[in-house]
Chain A
Amino acid sequence: MNGDADTRSAPKPLVLENARVVDPARDLDATGTVIVADGVIQAAGPDAIGKPMPAGAEVVNCAGKVVAPGLIDMRVFVGEPGREHRETLRSASKAAAVGGVTTLITMPDTEPVIDEPALVDYVLRRARDTAIVRVHPAAALTKGLEGKEMTEIGMLKEAGAIAFTDGRKSIANSRVMQRMMTYAREFGALIMHHPQDVTLADGGVMNMGETAARLGLMGIPVEAEIIMLERDIRLAAMTGGHYHAALISCAESADVIRAAKMRRLHVSAGVSINHLTLNENDIGPYRTFFKMSPPLRLEDDRRAMVEALRDGTIDVIVSSHDPQDVETKRHPFAEAADGAIGLETLLPAALRLVHSQDVDLLTVLRAMTTRPAQLLGLDGGTLNSGAPADLIVFDPNTPWVLDKADIVSRSKNSPFEDARFQGRVERTLVAGRTVHPYSGHHS
């Protein structure tokens, strides 16, 4: 679904009592009440305790549970249109609802590529008709993702494109990137770039270093990322454009972003949940579900990502949900496709950082709610009264194990198969309507 176009019967008002209310937009982490009616947050927090309840409200005691804004995932690959056997908008949205993700930003590298206003419109309509969470498509930055000619940023944005990216592809040509950043500035369009020097990365299949040497696999040096990131930062400084590094993975990249922010450049950065919680050792005996781009790095790099999240250098955490099937994954490591699914495990994996006391809950949630909402210009990402009632209820301590059979996503390539987690989403609301546990009354 998208926006407020909803002809179904209105959901019952909802009152969540005795909850640990966490709203990063207000730096709020306190016991309180959340009142939802008419698809909107009426009140949330300690102030809401004792406020009059809407007539006919469902009242839930949430003792021991956290109520937080629904997650906004800025990097989700889907297979629709063109690769529906991997993931449709509907199947992705169901996986999202299970994971507590209430807003998906979909990547444009479908078939056809989302590089025309009519195709943005198509995705929005399909999402409205089939998806159970909000979907905002990102449009291609260059026509056909070829890295050569800029797309119609103005008209695509008018059609509803939320941001611009070539998805998993990098723009090798610096002049193209410079012109794109210059042009995008005119429309206040956000450019999300996957910074990787393709010539340095060419042929590499995992992080360059000792592990690659032992496994006999070609490596991708961290410099492939750092060089491209530094180029991009210089272009952002030159053009004044808004630049978002979609994914960073190594310690020096964090330093580059940190320095750019010190210079007050219009720059932000994301990290995938995988690079916050896994490292190259997890590849073990050539496990292809751990093959991704950028590759998993050293433990020191992972720790640097966590530190960069804690100090605000990294703005957002994404799932980088990338459904692949046996056709693309059941191959020798070097020949397998990159990518891992992640919508259902985004929050549970992020909670590992909280349980290990590396990062507090407010900071982790901010990077998946308030910050992405700010970067994208969305209303959500907060429990402020008047905000859309996109929220999640989770028990941060429930222990569970990810069973492949329980994966909702149409593709099963999770690096967290059989992993133990602590904390699980119990209920997800989008515009005040419960979409998880899946209540079955949607067609």
Chain B
Amino acid sequence: MTTHLTDHAASFPHRHLLGIEGLTPPDILTLLDLADEAVEVSRQVEKKKAVLRGRTQINLFFEASTRTQSSFELAGKRLGADVMNMSVASSSVKKGETLIDTAATLNAMHPDLLVVRHHAAGAVRLLADKVGCSVVNAGDGAHEHPTQALLDALTMRRHKGKIGGLTVAICGDIRHSRVARSNILLLNALGARVRVVAPPTLLPANVERLGVDVYTSMRTGLADADIVMMLRLQRERMSGSFVPSVREYFRYWGLDAEKLSYAKPDAMVMHPGPMNRGVEIDPEIADGARSLIKEQVEMGVAVRMAVLEALAAHLPN
């Protein structure tokens, strides 16, 4: 089993995972196949493997995140790495200079894997250029969140058997969402039809150029969709700046049974979490039979194990 996994991992040709952009369809499939196997590992009583034994993984989070950070932590530990979490309050960071200082400091500690989340788009790449280890982007501003897109794809593939040919409607705050951008790239790479559905104020300009069909109405946007992916709406954006109020947002763009009825009868519902029940999604749907939301969390650990393992194959011995 271990040799088999390592074969897979060796076929992944990148030192960093900074985004879905730059990955080929075979790269993505390699990671998904590895992740499928990691799911089995995680479901055993003995969850520990040794591929990262002796390796140091630092989770460097400039933006608070309980679920992503713990998911990466668990993934590293299951692969045998020594994992250290560093949270840097973003308010105390003074942009570029301090970020590079931090990189230099960390680099001197000789980590093997650096998992980074930062509130500024492009910050993770900037940091990757300054360190000697492998870097995983755990979310940079509104740019990319590649492991989220991979775990979403894994979840979809395990339920629908494939990605190609699926119609996926990504709904909500597209404008500020790194999850949406990574998903659009990945799903397009694997041949899905991607739609975005949002109030016009929450769509980036020229979003159609990213290879998506653009809708502003849930009813038309969800019609015949296989997957409905809801995005989180930040609280500060729902009181008059981008949308007027929670109740208006929920009425027109919140996923409830009525709107979901426009999707295919076997359509599944996803959400990257954390959810705002009653804002973007009706609790009945979030916790209902068609929700894959809990499963996405499980797949998150598996995908991160796959990514760490694939990158470790390139680490110097």
Contact = CB atoms under 8 A, between A and B. Distances in A.
A142 B248 CA distance: 14
A383 to B, nearest CB: 36
A154 B246 CA distance: 12
B262 interface: no
A375 B281 CA distance: 36
A154 B248 contact: yes
A143 B251 contact: no
Nearest to A184: B200
6 contacts: A149-B239, A150-B243, A153-B244, A155-B247, A183-B201, A186-B199
Interface in A146-199: 148-155, 179, 182-183, 185-186
Contact of B252 (A149, A150, A154): A154
Which of B199, B201, B239 has most A Cβ within 10 Å? Answer: B201
B201 A182 contact: yes
B137 to A, nearest CB: 30
Interface in B88-112: none
Contacts of A150: 240-241, 243-244
A143 B243 CA distance: 12
Contact of B243 (A142, A183, A239): A183
Contacts of B199: 183, 186
Instruction: Summarize B's interface: helix, strand, loop or mixed.
Output: loop
Interface in A128-154: 142-143, 148-154
Given A185-B200, A186-B199, A143 B240 contact: yes
Contacts, number: 43
A155 to B, nearest CB: 5
Contacts of A239: 200
A119 to B, nearest CB: 14
Given A154-B248, A154-B251, A155-B247, A149 B200 contact: no
A143 B241 CA distance: 11
B216 interface: yes
Contacts of A186: 199-200, 216-217
**Residues of A in contact with B, size category:** 10 to 19
A20 B248 CA distance: 49
B245 interface: yes
Given A149-B241, A155-B248, A155-B251, 6 more contacts: A149-B244, A152-B244, A154-B248, A154-B252, A183-B200, A186-B200
Contacts of A143: 240, 244
A179 B239 CA distance: 13
A384 to B, nearest CB: 32
Given A182-B201, A183-B201, A186-B216, A152 B247 contact: yes
B247 A182 contact: no
A185 B216 CA distance: 10
Nearest to B217: A186
B274 to A, nearest CB: 25
B240 A148 contact: yes
B115 to A, nearest CB: 35
A408 B237 CA distance: 47
Contact of A152 (B200, B216, B241, B248): B248
B102 to A, nearest CB: 33
Residue with the highest number of chain A CB atoms closer than 10 Å, among B216, B240, B242, B251: B240
A179 B201 contact: yes
A148 B241 CA distance: 8
Contacts of A153: 244, 248
Contacts of A152: 244-245, 247-248
Nearest to B245: A152
Contacts of A154: 244, 248, 251-252
Interface in B226-240: 239-240
A368 to B, nearest CB: 32
| A143, A148, A151, A179: residue with the most chain B Cβ atoms closer than 10 Å | A179
A148 B239 CA distance: 10
A185 B251 CA distance: 17
Contacts of B251: 154-155
Interface string B197-217: 001110000000000000011
A153 B216 CA distance: 15
Contacts of B200: 182-183, 185-186, 239
Nearest to A185: B200
A143 B251 CA distance: 19
Contacts of A151: 240, 244
A155 B226 CA distance: 30
A191 to B, nearest CB: 14
A148 B240 CA distance: 8
A179 B242 contact: yes
Contacts of B241: 149-150, 179
B262 to A, nearest CB: 17
A153 B242 CA distance: 12
B197 to A, nearest CB: 12
Contacts of B247: 152, 155
Interface string B131-161: 0000000000000000000000000000000
Interface string B152-194: 0000000000000000000000000000000000000000000
Interface string A367-408: 000000000000000000000000000000000000000000
Contacts of B252: 154
